[in-house]
Amino acid sequence: MTVLDPNILNPFTLLDPHISHLISLIITIASISLSFIISWHFFRSYRFSGFGYLLGLPVGFTFIALSFLFEHLSLIYSNNDLAYPAFFWIQLALQSEALALIALSYRFKNNEDAGQYDNSDNLLVSTESHQIKTSVKLRDVFSSSLPMVMVAIPFIVPISELVSDPDFNYPALADMSFFMRLYNMAIFGYIFSSSVLSLIKAANIRLLYIPAAFAFLWLEQYSLTITYFDNSIVAFIGSLIARLAGLTLFVYVVYNVTSKQRRRKIEIEARKKT
Amino acid sequence: MKLKQERRHKLQLFNAILCAIEEDITINKTARPTRIQHYSRLSYDKMMNHFIELEQKGMIYRTGDGLVSITNKGKKFIKQYDELISLIENVGL
Protein backbone atom coordinates (compact mmCIF):
# COMPACT_ATOMS: atom_id res chain seq x y z
CA MET A 1 0.00 0.00 0.00
CA THR A 2 1.37 3.41 -0.95
CA VAL A 3 1.11 6.32 1.43
CA LEU A 4 -0.28 9.54 -0.07
CA ASP A 5 2.19 12.42 -0.05
CA PRO A 6 0.61 15.23 2.02
CA ASN A 7 2.38 17.85 -0.12
CA ILE A 8 1.07 17.14 -3.61
CA LEU A 9 2.41 19.64 -6.11
CA ASN A 10 0.86 18.50 -9.37
CA PRO A 11 -2.66 17.19 -8.61
CA PHE A 12 -2.53 14.89 -11.66
CA THR A 13 -0.38 12.63 -9.48
CA LEU A 14 -3.55 11.92 -7.48
CA LEU A 15 -4.96 10.00 -10.44
CA ASP A 16 -4.16 6.41 -11.32
CA PRO A 17 -0.55 6.47 -12.63
CA HIS A 18 -1.59 4.34 -15.63
CA ILE A 19 -3.98 6.95 -16.95
CA SER A 20 -2.76 10.19 -15.37
CA HIS A 21 -0.25 10.92 -18.16
CA LEU A 22 -2.81 10.31 -20.89
CA ILE A 23 -5.51 12.41 -19.16
CA SER A 24 -3.00 15.18 -18.50
CA LEU A 25 -1.89 15.10 -22.15
CA ILE A 26 -5.48 15.36 -23.44
CA ILE A 27 -6.44 18.13 -21.00
CA THR A 28 -3.20 20.00 -21.69
CA ILE A 29 -3.58 19.85 -25.48
CA ALA A 30 -7.21 21.04 -25.22
CA SER A 31 -6.33 23.83 -22.77
CA ILE A 32 -3.33 25.04 -24.77
CA SER A 33 -5.30 25.00 -28.04
CA LEU A 34 -8.17 26.99 -26.53
CA SER A 35 -5.80 29.48 -24.90
CA PHE A 36 -3.88 30.04 -28.13
CA ILE A 37 -7.11 30.56 -30.11
CA ILE A 38 -8.15 33.27 -27.63
CA SER A 39 -4.66 34.77 -27.64
CA TRP A 40 -4.49 34.85 -31.44
CA HIS A 41 -7.83 36.66 -31.78
CA PHE A 42 -6.84 39.31 -29.25
CA PHE A 43 -3.43 39.70 -30.82
CA ARG A 44 -5.04 40.30 -34.22
CA SER A 45 -7.29 42.95 -32.65
CA TYR A 46 -4.30 44.57 -30.97
CA ARG A 47 -2.26 44.57 -34.20
CA PHE A 48 -5.17 46.13 -36.09
CA SER A 49 -6.06 48.82 -33.57
CA GLY A 50 -2.78 49.48 -31.78
CA PHE A 51 -4.75 49.97 -28.52
CA GLY A 52 -2.13 49.37 -25.82
CA TYR A 53 -4.60 48.14 -23.22
CA LEU A 54 -5.53 45.18 -25.45
CA LEU A 55 -2.01 43.73 -25.30
CA GLY A 56 -2.49 42.28 -21.81
CA LEU A 57 -5.03 39.75 -23.10
CA PRO A 58 -2.98 38.00 -25.85
CA VAL A 59 0.17 37.97 -23.71
CA GLY A 60 -1.83 36.79 -20.70
CA PHE A 61 -3.47 33.90 -22.55
CA THR A 62 -0.11 32.90 -24.08
CA PHE A 63 1.35 32.75 -20.56
CA ILE A 64 -1.66 30.68 -19.44
CA ALA A 65 -1.05 28.25 -22.33
CA LEU A 66 2.62 27.98 -21.33
CA SER A 67 1.65 27.38 -17.71
CA PHE A 68 -0.46 24.38 -18.83
CA LEU A 69 2.54 23.07 -20.75
CA PHE A 70 4.75 23.32 -17.67
CA GLU A 71 2.06 21.63 -15.60
CA HIS A 72 2.20 18.65 -17.96
CA LEU A 73 6.01 18.68 -17.97
CA SER A 74 6.06 18.62 -14.17
CA LEU A 75 3.90 15.48 -14.32
CA ILE A 76 6.20 13.83 -16.88
CA TYR A 77 9.19 14.55 -14.65
CA SER A 78 7.34 13.73 -11.41
CA ASN A 79 10.12 11.30 -10.44
CA ASN A 80 12.85 13.87 -10.99
CA ASP A 81 13.65 15.69 -7.76
CA LEU A 82 14.77 18.85 -9.52
CA ALA A 83 12.60 19.07 -12.66
CA TYR A 84 9.32 18.24 -10.90
CA PRO A 85 9.31 21.16 -8.42
CA ALA A 86 11.06 23.47 -10.92
CA PHE A 87 8.40 23.01 -13.62
CA PHE A 88 5.67 23.30 -11.00
CA TRP A 89 7.25 26.52 -9.75
CA ILE A 90 7.39 27.94 -13.32
CA GLN A 91 3.76 26.96 -13.88
CA LEU A 92 2.61 28.82 -10.77
CA ALA A 93 4.57 31.96 -11.62
CA LEU A 94 3.40 31.99 -15.25
CA GLN A 95 -0.26 31.46 -14.40
CA SER A 96 -0.38 34.25 -11.82
CA GLU A 97 1.55 36.59 -14.09
CA ALA A 98 -0.87 35.81 -16.92
CA LEU A 99 -3.86 36.74 -14.78
CA ALA A 100 -2.16 39.94 -13.66
CA LEU A 101 -1.62 40.92 -17.31
CA ILE A 102 -5.26 40.18 -18.20
CA ALA A 103 -6.35 42.26 -15.19
CA LEU A 104 -4.11 45.09 -16.40
CA SER A 105 -6.06 45.26 -19.66
CA TYR A 106 -9.24 45.91 -17.67
CA ARG A 107 -7.43 48.30 -15.35
CA PHE A 108 -6.01 50.46 -18.15
CA LYS A 109 -9.31 50.47 -20.01
CA ASN A 110 -11.02 51.76 -16.85
CA ASN A 111 -8.35 54.48 -16.56
CA GLU A 112 -9.00 55.56 -20.16
CA ASP A 113 -12.75 55.76 -19.48
CA ALA A 114 -12.17 57.83 -16.34
CA GLY A 115 -9.96 60.20 -18.35
CA GLN A 116 -12.91 61.15 -20.53
CA TYR A 117 -14.37 63.28 -17.75
CA ASP A 118 -13.50 66.93 -17.51
CA ASN A 119 -12.21 68.13 -14.15
CA SER A 120 -12.83 71.83 -14.81
CA ASP A 121 -15.30 72.01 -11.91
CA ASN A 122 -12.38 71.38 -9.56
CA LEU A 123 -11.15 74.91 -10.27
CA LEU A 124 -13.44 76.21 -7.50
CA VAL A 125 -10.99 76.88 -4.67
CA SER A 126 -12.18 76.08 -1.17
CA THR A 127 -11.07 73.96 1.75
CA GLU A 128 -13.63 71.38 0.75
CA SER A 129 -12.27 71.17 -2.77
CA HIS A 130 -8.73 70.96 -1.33
CA GLN A 131 -9.75 67.92 0.71
CA ILE A 132 -11.35 66.40 -2.34
CA LYS A 133 -8.16 67.04 -4.32
CA THR A 134 -6.07 65.31 -1.63
CA SER A 135 -8.32 62.27 -1.63
CA VAL A 136 -8.26 62.22 -5.44
CA LYS A 137 -4.44 62.38 -5.37
CA LEU A 138 -4.31 59.51 -2.87
CA ARG A 139 -6.68 57.54 -5.02
CA ASP A 140 -4.51 58.29 -8.08
CA VAL A 141 -1.37 57.12 -6.26
CA PHE A 142 -3.17 53.94 -5.21
CA SER A 143 -4.60 53.26 -8.64
CA SER A 144 -1.30 53.93 -10.43
CA SER A 145 0.67 51.69 -8.06
CA LEU A 146 -1.89 48.89 -8.08
CA PRO A 147 -0.97 47.59 -11.59
CA MET A 148 2.71 47.48 -10.58
CA VAL A 149 1.84 45.54 -7.43
CA MET A 150 -0.38 43.15 -9.41
CA VAL A 151 2.43 42.36 -11.86
CA ALA A 152 5.17 42.25 -9.22
CA ILE A 153 3.52 39.77 -6.83
CA PRO A 154 3.64 36.74 -9.18
CA PHE A 155 7.37 37.38 -9.68
CA ILE A 156 8.37 38.34 -6.16
CA VAL A 157 6.59 35.57 -4.25
CA PRO A 158 7.95 32.59 -6.27
CA ILE A 159 11.43 34.14 -6.53
CA SER A 160 11.59 34.81 -2.79
CA GLU A 161 10.58 31.18 -2.28
CA LEU A 162 13.41 30.07 -4.57
CA VAL A 163 15.95 32.35 -2.92
CA SER A 164 15.01 31.22 0.59
CA ASP A 165 15.35 27.56 -0.38
CA PRO A 166 17.19 26.84 -3.67
CA ASP A 167 16.66 23.06 -3.28
CA PHE A 168 12.86 23.40 -3.48
CA ASN A 169 11.28 22.54 -0.19
CA TYR A 170 8.16 20.54 -1.15
CA PRO A 171 5.91 21.59 1.77
CA ALA A 172 6.87 25.25 1.29
CA LEU A 173 6.21 24.98 -2.45
CA ALA A 174 2.83 23.37 -1.79
CA ASP A 175 1.99 26.21 0.61
CA MET A 176 3.12 28.76 -1.95
CA SER A 177 0.79 27.18 -4.52
CA PHE A 178 -2.06 27.70 -2.06
CA PHE A 179 -1.24 31.40 -1.62
CA MET A 180 -0.77 31.90 -5.33
CA ARG A 181 -4.18 30.37 -5.94
CA LEU A 182 -5.71 32.75 -3.44
CA TYR A 183 -4.01 35.56 -5.35
CA ASN A 184 -5.38 34.15 -8.64
CA MET A 185 -8.88 34.06 -7.17
CA ALA A 186 -8.59 37.68 -6.07
CA ILE A 187 -7.43 38.70 -9.56
CA PHE A 188 -10.26 36.72 -11.19
CA GLY A 189 -12.65 38.47 -8.81
CA TYR A 190 -11.35 41.84 -10.01
CA ILE A 191 -11.58 40.85 -13.69
CA PHE A 192 -15.08 39.43 -13.16
CA SER A 193 -16.37 42.59 -11.46
CA SER A 194 -14.72 44.86 -14.07
CA SER A 195 -16.22 42.98 -16.99
CA VAL A 196 -19.68 42.80 -15.38
CA LEU A 197 -19.67 46.53 -14.55
CA SER A 198 -18.53 47.39 -18.05
CA LEU A 199 -21.28 45.27 -19.61
CA ILE A 200 -23.89 46.76 -17.30
CA LYS A 201 -22.74 50.30 -18.18
CA ALA A 202 -23.04 49.42 -21.85
CA ALA A 203 -26.50 47.91 -21.17
CA ASN A 204 -25.15 44.70 -22.60
CA ILE A 205 -26.38 42.28 -19.95
CA ARG A 206 -27.14 39.55 -22.45
CA LEU A 207 -23.41 39.27 -23.15
CA LEU A 208 -22.58 37.82 -19.76
CA TYR A 209 -20.70 34.92 -21.32
CA ILE A 210 -17.28 36.40 -20.60
CA PRO A 211 -17.96 37.05 -16.89
CA ALA A 212 -19.32 33.49 -16.79
CA ALA A 213 -16.08 32.26 -18.37
CA PHE A 214 -14.05 34.12 -15.74
CA ALA A 215 -16.33 32.70 -13.04
CA PHE A 216 -15.54 29.19 -14.29
CA LEU A 217 -11.81 29.96 -14.19
CA TRP A 218 -12.25 31.30 -10.64
CA LEU A 219 -14.01 28.03 -9.77
CA GLU A 220 -11.01 26.13 -11.13
CA GLN A 221 -8.72 27.93 -8.68
CA TYR A 222 -11.20 27.40 -5.85
CA SER A 223 -11.38 23.66 -6.58
CA LEU A 224 -7.58 23.52 -6.60
CA THR A 225 -7.46 25.08 -3.14
CA ILE A 226 -9.84 22.38 -1.93
CA THR A 227 -7.56 19.79 -3.55
CA TYR A 228 -4.64 21.35 -1.65
CA PHE A 229 -6.40 20.76 1.70
CA ASP A 230 -7.78 17.24 1.28
CA ASN A 231 -6.19 15.82 -1.92
CA SER A 232 -9.69 15.31 -3.23
CA ILE A 233 -9.80 13.76 -6.71
CA VAL A 234 -13.39 14.96 -7.14
CA ALA A 235 -12.36 18.57 -6.50
CA PHE A 236 -9.45 18.20 -8.90
CA ILE A 237 -11.64 16.76 -11.67
CA GLY A 238 -14.08 19.60 -10.97
CA SER A 239 -11.25 22.08 -11.46
CA LEU A 240 -10.38 20.52 -14.84
CA ILE A 241 -14.01 20.68 -15.96
CA ALA A 242 -14.29 24.30 -14.80
CA ARG A 243 -11.08 25.23 -16.64
CA LEU A 244 -12.21 23.65 -19.92
CA ALA A 245 -15.71 25.14 -19.58
CA GLY A 246 -14.27 28.62 -18.99
CA LEU A 247 -11.87 28.47 -21.92
CA THR A 248 -14.50 26.95 -24.23
CA LEU A 249 -16.96 29.69 -23.34
CA PHE A 250 -14.29 32.28 -24.13
CA VAL A 251 -13.60 30.69 -27.52
CA TYR A 252 -17.34 30.51 -28.22
CA VAL A 253 -17.62 34.28 -27.66
CA VAL A 254 -14.59 34.96 -29.85
CA TYR A 255 -16.07 32.87 -32.69
CA ASN A 256 -19.46 34.46 -32.17
CA VAL A 257 -17.83 37.82 -32.91
CA THR A 258 -16.87 36.75 -36.43
CA SER A 259 -20.39 35.51 -37.19
CA LYS A 260 -21.74 38.96 -36.29
CA GLN A 261 -20.08 40.42 -39.38
CA ARG A 262 -23.00 39.34 -41.51
CA ARG A 263 -25.44 41.60 -39.61
CA ARG A 264 -24.21 44.86 -41.13
CA LYS A 265 -24.72 43.59 -44.65
CA ILE A 266 -28.25 42.51 -43.73
CA GLU A 267 -28.90 46.01 -42.25
CA ILE A 268 -27.74 47.75 -45.45
CA GLU A 269 -29.82 45.41 -47.59
CA ALA A 270 -32.86 46.20 -45.40
CA ARG A 271 -32.27 49.96 -45.79
CA LYS A 272 -31.90 49.51 -49.53
CA LYS A 273 -35.34 47.88 -49.71
CA THR A 274 -37.02 50.70 -47.70
CA MET B 1 -18.87 67.54 -13.91
CA LYS B 2 -18.98 68.06 -17.65
CA LEU B 3 -18.53 65.46 -20.30
CA LYS B 4 -16.04 66.38 -22.96
CA GLN B 5 -17.45 66.48 -26.44
CA GLU B 6 -16.97 62.97 -27.76
CA ARG B 7 -14.00 62.81 -30.08
CA ARG B 8 -13.84 60.04 -32.59
CA HIS B 9 -10.71 57.94 -32.86
CA LYS B 10 -9.05 57.86 -36.28
CA LEU B 11 -10.09 54.23 -36.71
CA GLN B 12 -13.68 55.27 -36.03
CA LEU B 13 -13.48 58.04 -38.62
CA PHE B 14 -12.00 55.76 -41.26
CA ASN B 15 -14.67 53.20 -40.52
CA ALA B 16 -17.45 55.81 -40.74
CA ILE B 17 -16.20 56.99 -44.13
CA LEU B 18 -15.68 53.50 -45.54
CA CYS B 19 -19.07 52.33 -44.29
CA ALA B 20 -20.68 55.41 -45.80
CA ILE B 21 -19.06 54.66 -49.16
CA GLU B 22 -20.11 51.01 -49.02
CA GLU B 23 -23.66 51.94 -48.01
CA ASP B 24 -23.96 54.56 -50.73
CA ILE B 25 -22.72 52.15 -53.37
CA THR B 26 -25.13 49.47 -52.18
CA ILE B 27 -28.12 51.84 -52.22
CA ASN B 28 -27.34 54.21 -55.13
CA LYS B 29 -24.78 52.17 -57.14
CA THR B 30 -22.33 55.09 -56.84
CA ALA B 31 -20.75 56.99 -53.92
CA ARG B 32 -20.69 60.79 -54.03
CA PRO B 33 -18.68 62.90 -51.51
CA THR B 34 -21.75 64.90 -50.46
CA ARG B 35 -23.69 61.77 -49.60
CA ILE B 36 -20.65 60.26 -47.86
CA GLN B 37 -20.36 63.47 -45.82
CA HIS B 38 -24.01 63.14 -44.84
CA TYR B 39 -23.66 59.49 -43.78
CA SER B 40 -20.34 59.92 -41.95
CA ARG B 41 -21.29 63.22 -40.20
CA LEU B 42 -17.98 64.96 -40.93
CA SER B 43 -17.15 68.43 -42.16
CA TYR B 44 -16.36 68.50 -45.88
CA ASP B 45 -12.74 69.64 -45.39
CA LYS B 46 -11.97 66.98 -42.80
CA MET B 47 -13.58 64.34 -44.93
CA MET B 48 -11.47 65.35 -47.97
CA ASN B 49 -8.31 65.14 -45.80
CA HIS B 50 -9.29 61.66 -44.73
CA PHE B 51 -9.99 60.76 -48.37
CA ILE B 52 -6.35 61.58 -49.21
CA GLU B 53 -5.12 59.41 -46.35
CA LEU B 54 -7.43 56.54 -47.23
CA GLU B 55 -6.36 56.76 -50.87
CA GLN B 56 -2.69 56.64 -49.85
CA LYS B 57 -3.42 53.53 -47.76
CA GLY B 58 -5.12 51.93 -50.78
CA MET B 59 -8.54 51.62 -49.14
CA ILE B 60 -10.44 53.84 -51.58
CA TYR B 61 -9.96 55.25 -55.07
CA ARG B 62 -11.46 58.29 -56.73
CA THR B 63 -12.48 58.48 -60.36
CA GLY B 64 -12.14 61.57 -62.55
CA ASP B 65 -15.84 62.50 -62.22
CA GLY B 66 -15.58 62.84 -58.42
CA LEU B 67 -17.07 59.47 -57.54
CA VAL B 68 -15.50 57.42 -54.77
CA SER B 69 -15.15 53.66 -54.61
CA ILE B 70 -13.96 51.24 -51.98
CA THR B 71 -11.17 48.70 -52.57
CA ASN B 72 -10.89 45.16 -51.19
CA LYS B 73 -8.46 46.51 -48.61
CA GLY B 74 -11.12 49.01 -47.51
CA LYS B 75 -13.71 46.25 -47.22
CA LYS B 76 -11.25 44.19 -45.18
CA PHE B 77 -10.74 47.18 -42.88
CA ILE B 78 -14.51 47.41 -42.22
CA LYS B 79 -14.65 43.70 -41.43
CA GLN B 80 -11.69 43.92 -39.05
CA TYR B 81 -13.08 47.03 -37.37
CA ASP B 82 -16.46 45.36 -36.80
CA GLU B 83 -14.65 42.37 -35.36
CA LEU B 84 -12.59 44.59 -33.05
CA ILE B 85 -15.61 46.47 -31.73
CA SER B 86 -17.64 43.29 -31.21
CA LEU B 87 -14.73 41.68 -29.39
CA ILE B 88 -14.21 44.68 -27.10
CA GLU B 89 -17.95 44.90 -26.37
CA ASN B 90 -18.29 41.18 -25.71
CA VAL B 91 -15.29 41.01 -23.41
CA GLY B 92 -16.52 44.00 -21.42
CA LEU B 93 -13.49 46.17 -22.13
Q: For residue B52, give the 3-state DSSP assignment.
A: helix
With 60 as the cut, is the pLDDT of residue A266 above it?
Answer: no
Q: How many A×B Cβ pairs under 8 Å? A: 82
Which tens digit of pLDDT belongs to each residue from A162-195?
777 666 777 888 888 888 999 999 999 999 999 8
With bands split at pLDDT 50, 70 and 90, how would you rate the model's confidence at A57? very high
Average pLDDT, chain B: 85
* The predicted structure's pLDDT at residue A261: 57
With 60 as the cut, is the pLDDT of residue A4 above it?
Answer: no
Q: What is the mean pLDDT of residues A96-105?
A: 92
Which tens digit of pLDDT belongs to each residue from A114-157?
555 444 444 445 566 666 777 777 777 776 777 777 777 777 77
Residue from the list A45, A118, A197 with its beta carbon closest to the beta carbon of B87: A45
Spatial separation of the C-alpha atoms in residues B41 and B17, rounded to whole Å: 9
Q: How far is A192 from chain B, CA to nearest CA, in Å?
A: 10
Which tens digit of pLDDT belongs to each residue from A68-80?
999 999 999 988 8
Residues of A with CB under 8 A from a CB of B: 41-42, 44-45, 48-49, 53-54, 57, 105-106, 109, 116-121, 194-199, 202, 204, 207, 209-211, 253-254, 256-258, 260-261, 264, 268-269, 271-272
pTM of the model: 0.82
Residues B90, A272: C-beta atoms closer than 8 Å: no
Which tens digit of pLDDT belongs to each residue from A228-244?
888 889 999 999 999 99
With bands split at pLDDT 50, 70 and 90, how would you rate the model's confidence at A33? very high
Residue with the larger pLDDT of the pair B81 and A130? B81
Task: Dihedral sign for Cα A107, A110, A112, A115, please.
Answer: negative
Residue from the list A117, A194, A254 with its beta carbon closest to the beta carbon of B92: A194
Which residues, listed in sequence order, are joined to residue A14 by a DSSP beta bridge? none
With 60 as the cut, is the pLDDT of residue B70 above it?
Answer: yes
Residues of chain B positioned with their CB less than 8 A from the CB of A121: 1-2
